[in-house]
Amino acid sequence: AAGGRTKMEKAAFAFVRKQAKEPWTITDADVKQLEADAGPDIAWQVIWWAARCHYMTKVADAFQLPLESENPFRAMPGAKMVK
């Protein structure tokens, strides 16, 4: 089941999950459904950011870059500590 509280969030999470696990199965109907549930602007932001993140993960994997052992963004202004 997709996460999220609103219909838009649920649609976004479901789309991104499908894009991550089986990107070759994404169809025009999936995109149209995401646009219908989230609106065209949000839909394309979801698609673009998810695709970019998946791509960057593949690049990092290809170069065998290690994960950070600590949060590198912790000291940034506005960062919130999560317990």
Q: How many helices (H) and strands (E) does the chain have?
A: 3, 0
Mean pLDDT of the region 42-71:
87
pLDDT at residue 2, as a whole number: 56
Residues 78, 42: Cα–Cα separation, whole Å: 25
Long-range contacts of 43-48 (CB under 8 A, 24+ apart): 46/12, 46/15, 46/16, 47/15, 47/19
Share of the chain above pLDDT 70, in %: 92
Contact 53, 21 (CB under 8 A): no
Q: Please, which pLDDT band fits residue 82 given cuts at 50, 70 and 90? A: low
Mean pLDDT of the region 43-57:
91
Supply 57's token pair. 């993960």
Residue bearing the bigger pLDDT, 67 or 7:
7
